[in-house]
């Protein structure tokens, strides 16, 4: 009988479901890392919220562990690459606590607008300071959303009901979806300049870490009020403290902190600062939702192999899996390539299969393309929720099977329409197993898509490769492989290089300044 450990506070519904499905379950919360390491080897499944940190060390000791289930959305407390390399499936419950978290953001916005926590403390201290607490209305004010996914779009809906004007910065938001939501899509700088309130709703990724940096906080309108119910690392907390003290920021409410649990912080005690201990998802309703979902998903997986909401594994039947696996890897890499090269609002994605690929179930291939495309912006996207997210964002998907001869035995082509027009990439499988890029934006280039890479579009002129090699060499960046393609002699050329380490920003700037360079982007493939 499989054994599951519930290591964070969770609705009793979870344990009830495990037992009802014939799974042995222990509920042990508040374990230290060492205590968890000592016992984790006994379990096949681990059900967590945000307190348990599933680190490399924990996974190394988890010799029987097959699945980790996060009763919630963010999985930044799980080392997903380490779990993947150990063959441990990581699942989350993407929608169960979204409404609750959105409501918490709105509650904190009101707490700031009317200084409710300080007014409450003062009144209960017998002070009756009626003149001290002058608030602001939210009606007709501008709410700036950073991140307009599930939670951000619910916040938008509630804020529109409060008669606020809502603007949103989210690279994945298409103008059509923004219009449908009733919000105005803006750049980050426009949002900072226009918002009276800002609410953050992105995951914590390399592109969102410190998004409200000191520099960006200073670009906000004086008197800005900021709510963060997403993740701690999104705001520079030291700068936030200084700018609250100086009065540039009129109020800030944090549900999440860079270091949690946040038992001390320079922000504590600052006037107009409100905090809650990561309570965004803490309602009866949300906790029941996520507990039921996580227990059902883990039970299905442990008892039948069924995969739902996995972040590191496609959802597949046992028969299809071996044949589709290399196509999924190819599809995800092609999706990731276009996603990394063009981050602007995606309107449609067309997936074409030819040759042997035309005989396969195209759905998992499509899901893998979408997961690769969208994972650039959110690490919670998986092959299961990617098609749903695409539908929600009103991205049109077309799947086309070509029954015609091709130069390759099997071919997958992905065309994405963005604000910048259509972009097509294509790839094949070498030996029907090894993913290989064959075409990028109309130019034939054969390359592996793996690890750190550099993509360059340049004028096809003599001397360029030498200059590029020198720039990389002087920065200590070693070239692994080098792939070249061009539209026509002397026209536009494409270079794809695999490099042994990530390209630093400063080097990328130098490369962009080389004569003849039109585009230079650093890419990363997992
Ligand atoms: N305080 C709490 O208890 C809770 C916090 N959360 C946090 O809220 C976050 C958002 O959750 P959902 O809305 O469900 O996720 P989601 O994946 O539906 O939405 C995230 C949005 O952020 C956007 N985004 C990604 N990178 C961006 C960037 N650089 N700039 C602007 N936007 C960017 C994505 O395009 C996406 O639309 C989660 O990642 C989680 O960390 C979630 C639940 C509870
Ligand atoms: O489980 C919790 O209380 C935190 C929820 C959360 O942060 C999430 O779902 O991302």
Q: Are 318 and 295 members of one domain? A: no
DSSP H or E run through 120 = helix 116-124
The DSSP H or E segment spanning 202 is: none
Helix H or strand E encompassing 427 = strand 421-430
The DSSP code sequence of 221-280 is PTTEEEEE-S-GGGB-HHHHHHHHHHTSEEEEEES--SSSS-S--TTTT-TTEEE-SS-T
pLDDT in tens, 503-526: 999 999 999 999 999 999 999 998
Q: How far apart are CA 124 and CA 359, in angstroms?
A: 72
pTM over 0.80: no
**36 in a domain, yes or no?**
yes
The answer to whether residue 377 is catalytic is no
The answer to whether residue 309 sits within a structural domain is no
186 pLDDT band (50/70/90 cuts)? very high
Residue with tokens 């390759």: 408
Tokens at 118, concatenated: 């300080």
Within this chain, do residues 334 and 242 fall inside the same structural domain, yes or no? Answer: no
Task: State the chain's mean pLDDT as an integer.
Answer: 93
In a domain, 398, yes or no: yes
CATH assignment at residue 506: 3.30.70.260
Q: Which of 9, 201, 376 to mutate to test the pocket of ligand 1 (most atoms within 8 A of CB)?
A: 201
CA-closest candidate to residue 57, choices 43, 71, 42, 40? 40
153 CA to middle of ligand 1, Å? 10
Cα–Cα distances in angstroms (integers) from residue 96 to residues 70, 93, 104, 166, 291, in the given order: 11, 6, 14, 24, 9
In the set 278, 333, 417, 486, the catalytic residue is 278
| Token digits of residue 283 | 């309602």
Residue 62 belongs to a domain with what CATH number?
Answer: 3.40.50.720
Best probe residue, ligand 1, of 191, 203, 311, 386 (max atoms within 8 Å of C-beta): 203
What's the total number of domains in the chain?
4
- Other beta carbons within 10 angstroms of residue 469's beta carbon come to 13
- In the block, tokens 């803006």 appear at 186
* 223 and 180 both lie in a single domain: yes
Given a cut of 70, is residue 319 above it in pLDDT? no
Is residue 319 flagged as an active site residue? no
Are 267 and 136 within one domain?
A: yes
Among residues 104, 201, 231, 413, the one annotated as catalytic is 231
Asked if residue 317 has pLDDT above 60, the reply is no
Q: Are residues 25 and 37 in the same domain?
A: yes
Q: Which of 412, 441, 470 is the last residue of a domain?
A: 441
Interatomic CA distance for residues 171 and 344, integer angstroms: 5
HSE of 507, CA atoms in CB hemisphere, 13 A: 20
Asked if 108 and 72 sit in the same domain, the reply is: no
ipTM over 0.95: yes
Q: Is ligand 1 within 6 A of the CB of residue 77?
A: no
Q: Which of residues 223, 254, 275 is at a domain's end?
A: 275
- Shared-domain flag, residues 72 and 171: no
Q: How confident is the model at residue 308 (pLDDT cuts 50, 70, 90)?
A: confident
22-31, 44-53, 490-499, range with the lowest pLDDT: 490-499
Query: In whole angstroms, how far apart are CA 85 and each of 80, 237, 268, 499, 507?
Result: 8, 34, 40, 22, 31
468 assigned to some structural domain: yes
Ligand 1 contact via 229 beta carbon (within 6 Å): yes
Measure Cα distances from 69 to 34, 66, 89, 284, 379 in Å: 20, 10, 8, 19, 15
Q: Which of 29, 73, 228, 311 to mutate to test the pocket of ligand 2 (most atoms within 8 A of CB)?
A: 73
In this structure, the answer to whether residues 152 and 244 fall within a common structural domain is: yes
Average pLDDT over residues 76-90: 84
Give how far Cα 220 sits from Cα of 47, 156, 198, 274, 420, Å: 40, 20, 9, 19, 29
- DSSP element (H, E) containing 126: none
Average pLDDT over residues 389-406: 87
* Same domain membership, residue 104 and residue 242: yes
User: For residue 245, what are its two tokens?
Assistant: 């003290």
Residue 377 C-beta-side C-alpha neighbours within 13 Å: 26
For residue 375, indicate whether it is catalytic.
no
Q: Do 102 and 237 fall into the same domain?
A: yes
**Cα-only R_g, the chain:** 25
Per-residue confidence (pLDDT) for residue 313, from 0 to 100: 74
Percent of residues, the chain, with pLDDT higher than 90: 78
- Residue 280 belongs to a domain: no
Predicted confidence band of residue 28 (pLDDT cuts 50, 70, 90): very high
Q: Supply the range of the domain harboring residue 500.
A: 450-526
| Residue 144 beta carbon below 6 angstroms from any ligand 1 atom | no
Let me know whether 437 and 355 are in one domain: yes
């Amino acid at each position: 009988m499989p054994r599951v450990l519930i290591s964070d506070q969770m609705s009793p519904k979870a344990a009830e479901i495990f037992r009802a499905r014939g799974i042995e379950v222990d509920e042990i919360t508040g374990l230290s890392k060492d205590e968890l390491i000592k016992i984790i080897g006994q379990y096949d499944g681990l059900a967590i919220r945000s307190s348990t940190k599933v680190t490399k060390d924990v996974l190394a000791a988890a010799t029987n562990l097959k699945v980790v289930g996060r009763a919630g959305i963010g999985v930044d407390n799980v080392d997903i690459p380490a779990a993947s390399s150990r063959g441990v499936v990581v699942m989350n419950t993407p929608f169960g606590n979204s409404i609750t978290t959105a409501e918490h953001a709105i509650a904190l916005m009101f707490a700031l607008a009317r200084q409710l926590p300080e007014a409450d403390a003062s009144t209960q201290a017998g002070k009756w300071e009626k003149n001290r607490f002058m608030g602001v209305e939210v009606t007709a004010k501008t709410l700036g959303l950073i991140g307009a996914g599930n939670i951000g779009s619910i916040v938008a809906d509630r804020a529109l009901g409060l008669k606020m004007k809502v603007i949103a910065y989210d690279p994945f938001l298409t103008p059509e979806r923004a219009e449908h939501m009733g919000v105005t899509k803006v750049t980050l700088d426009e949002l900072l300049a226009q918002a009276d309130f800002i609410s953050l709703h992105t995951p914590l990724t390399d592109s969102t870490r410190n998004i409200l940096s000191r520099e960006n906080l200073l670009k906000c309108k004086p008197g800005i009020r900021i709510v963060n119910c997403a993740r701690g690392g999104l705001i520079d907390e030291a700068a936030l403290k200084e700018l609250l003290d100086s009065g540039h920021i009129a109020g800030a409410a944090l549900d999440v902190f860079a270091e949690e649990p946040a038992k001390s912080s320079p922000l504590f005690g600052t006037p107009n600062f409100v905090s809650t201990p990561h309570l965004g998802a803490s309602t009866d309703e949300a906790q029941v939702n996520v507990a039921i979902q996580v227990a059902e998903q883990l039970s299905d997986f442990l008892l039948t192999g069924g995969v739902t909401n996995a972040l590191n594994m496609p959802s597949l039947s046992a028969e299809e899996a071996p044949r589709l696996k290399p196509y999924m890897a190819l599809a995800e890499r092609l999706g990731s390539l276009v996603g990394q090269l063009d981050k602007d609002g995606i309107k449609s994605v067309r997936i074409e299969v030819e040759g042997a690929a035309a005989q396969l179930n195209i759905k998992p291939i499509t899901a893998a393309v979408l997961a690769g495309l969208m994972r650039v912006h959110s690490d919670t996207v998986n092959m299961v929720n990617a098609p749903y997210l695409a539908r929600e964002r009103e991205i049109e998907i077309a799947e086309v099977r070509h029954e015609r001869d091709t130069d390759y035995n099997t071919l997958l082509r992905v065309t994405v329409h963005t604000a910048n027009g259509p972009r097509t990439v294509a790839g094949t499988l070498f030996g029907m197993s090894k993913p290989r890029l064959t075409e990028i934006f109309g130019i034939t280039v054969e390359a592996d898509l793996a690890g750190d890479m550099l993509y360059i579009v340049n004028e096809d002129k003599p001397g360029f490769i030498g200059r590029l090699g020198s720039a990389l060499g002087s920065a200590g960046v070693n070239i692994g492989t080098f792939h070249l393609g061009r539209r026509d002699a002397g026209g536009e050329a494409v270079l794809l290089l695999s490099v042994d380490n990530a390209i630093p920003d400063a080097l990328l700037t130098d490369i962009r300044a080389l004569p003849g360079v039109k585009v230079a982007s650093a890419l990363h493939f997992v």
